[in-house]
Structure 1
Amino acid sequence: MTRGGGRRLVAAAAVTAVAVAALAACSTEAADQKVIDRLSKLDVLTVPAGATELSRSSVKGGGNNAIRTSSTVTLVYATPQTPTEVGQHFHARFDAAWHFHDNGAVDLGGWRASGRPGPDPNADPATAAEVVARPVTPTDKAPAGSQSVVTVTVSATRPA
C-alpha cells in the first residue's frame, strides 16, 4: 500500500457512511410525509358543519428504520356545541368507523375520548386518535356563539 492510501480508504469509508445515512434519512422523511398525507385525509380530521377551524398542524415522526416515532396531525376548531354535545356528535358520526372510548380524565365541563380506526380495532394498530372538547375561554380566538374548542389529534408510525 502506498503512503497515505490507508487515509484515503478511511476517508472513502466515511463518505460512504454519510451518504448511506443521508439516503436513509431521505427515505424515512418521505415515509413520514406519506403518513402525514394519509392522516390528513381521515374523516375524523374534517371540520363539522357549523364549526370554525382555528388551526391545523402536522409533525413528522422521524427516528430511523429501527426506532420510529409517530407522525401527528392536529386539528383545532370552535363549535357552538357544548363539550357533551361534541361527544355525542363524535359517537354518532364516527362509531361505525372508529372505536372511540370516553375518558373520564378531563377538566370539569369537558369531554375526552380516544380511539382507533376500523370495524376491527387491530386492523390498523399504528393509528390512534384523541379528541378533547373543552369550554371556550376568554383567551380563545373563537367566533361569537362558540361553546367549545375541540382538539383532534391523530397519530401513526410509518410502516417498518
Structure 2
Amino acid sequence: MMRGRARRTAAILALAVVAAAGLTACSTAAADQRVVDRLSKLDVMIVPAGGIEVSRTISKGGGNSVLRNASSVTLVYATTQTPAEVGKDVHAHFDSTWHFKDNAAVDLGGWRASGGPDPDPGADPGTVADVLARRVTSADKAPPGAKSVVTVSVSATRPG
C-alpha cells in the first residue's frame, strides 16, 4: 500500500514540475517577444530615406528565468550612399540618442560602429547595436545604383 501511494505522489510531483516548466516557457517566450517588439521599433531600425530594405530577421533569446539569451533583430538595406557617407549619416542622425563608436575592424572601404543608447543607457537596459556598411558585391541582392549594403543589428536580454 505504501509503494502505490509513493508512486502516485511521485507522479503528481512530476506532473506539477512539467506544468510549472510549461508555464515558465510560455512566460519567457512572451517576454522574449516583447524584447523583439521593442527592438524592432528602435529608431536605428528604420530604413533611411533612399534606402531599400533587403531583409529583416529576428531571433528570440530563449533560455529560462535564470539563464537568458539575448534576442536580436537584424535589418539589411541597400543604399546609394558610400560606406563612409553611411557612417556620417548615422552619426548625424543618432549621436543624440545613441553612443556609436567607430570600429576599425572592417574591410577596406567599409565602415562600422557599435554602441548603445545614450545619454541614458537605463532607458533600454542591455541594448546594444552594431552598424556595418560595406561596398556592394556581385553576390548581393542590391538594386542597380546601390553603393553600400548596410547591416544594422540590435540585441538585448529580457529583464530578469
| Letter aligned with residue 132 of structure 1 | L
Map 1:26-41 → 2, pairs under 5 A: 26-41=26-41
Identity among equivalent pairs (%): 66
Deviates more, 1:13-22 or 1:3-12: 3-12
Deviates more, 1:113-122 or 1:4-13: 113-122
Distance across 1 between alignment mates of 2:48 and 2:154: 16
Superposed CA offset, 1:12-66 (max 9, x none): 1101000001100100000000000001000100000111000001000011111
TM superposition shift of 1:4: 1.1
TM superposition shift of 1:121: 3.7
Does structure 2 conserve the Cα–Cα contact (< 8 Å) formed by 1:118 and 1:124?
no
Q: Which runs of 4+ in 1 moved over 4 A?
A: none
Distance across 1 between alignment mates of 2:30 and 2:121: 27
Distance across 1 between alignment mates of 2:3 and 2:47: 68
- Residue in 2 that maps onto 1:84: 84
Task: Give TM-score, length-normalised by structure 2.
Answer: 0.96
Distance across 1 between alignment mates of 2:83 and 2:156: 26
Deviates more, 1:118-127 or 1:79-88: 118-127
Superposed CA offset, 1:132-152 (max 9, x none): 000000010100000000000
- Residue in 1 that maps onto 2:46: 46
Matched, 1:57 2:57: yes
TM superposition shift of 1:119: 1.5
TM superposition shift of 1:120: 2.7
Distance across 2 between alignment mates of 1:66 and 1:32: 14
Structure 1: give runs of 5+ residues left out of the alignment: none
Secondary structure of 1:4 counterpart: helix
Distance across 2 between alignment mates of 1:154 and 1:114: 10
> What number of residue pairs does the alignment pair up?
160
- Residue in 2 that maps onto 1:72: 72
Distance across 2 between alignment mates of 1:2 and 1:129: 60
Task: Give TM-score, length-normalised by structure 1.
Answer: 0.96
Structure 2: give runs of 5+ residues left out of the alignment: none
